[in-house]
Amino acid sequence: MALKLSTIADGTIEVIASIDGAIPSDLSKEKFDKYIETLDESLLELIEGEHPTRFILRRVLPWALSQKVANNQMRMDKGEMQPQLSFMTEEVRCSLVGIKNPESMPEDEKIKYERGSDGGASEELMSRLVAAGIAMELYHARSNATKSKQRSDPKKS
């Protein structure tokens, strides 16, 4: 079978962070890791009556933003190419397009999506997500969602 670009998913994914109050505190790391791999929310065993915050990430980056991510993967140091892991948070910054807060959450407690001048999330928002320890979860969820769609049979999608 030939490669079909139609098997590369457009659109967005929604991701719930491990530190969300709607997730039981005793949820195993294995179950959360499986959720990040599949985005199957039933694995999270959400607390009844609680609604999580969802981070919305695009599956395919616009060309200019994808170039920013690619340019952050390596740097030249004393004539040698050195890998840079910061490209992962840059990929999250470039793919994050919104945040869905629970309706019941007070307005002053909602996480506000702030857009940067280049179309990705603002650096201030990203600083808070990195400090909260969830930027890498978002990276892995997006990476897994993109890979699984590319491997899937387009007839089953």
Domain boundaries of the chain, sorted by first residue: 11-150
Encode pLDDT of 90-137 as tens digits. 999 989 999 999 999 999 999 999 999 988 999 999 999 999 999 999
Residue 3 has a pLDDT of: 67
The β-bridge partners of 82 are 75
Residue 154 has a pLDDT of: 42
3-class SS of residue 13: strand
pTM: 0.82
DSSP 45-94: -PPTT----EEEEESS--HHHHHHHHHTSEEEETTEEEE-TTHHHHHHHH
- Which of residues 34 and 65 earns the better pLDDT score? 34
- Which of residues 20 and 1 earns the better pLDDT score? 20
Q: Say if residues 128 and 114 touch (Cβ distance below 8 Å).
A: no
Q: Say if residues 15 and 57 touch (Cβ distance below 8 Å).
A: yes
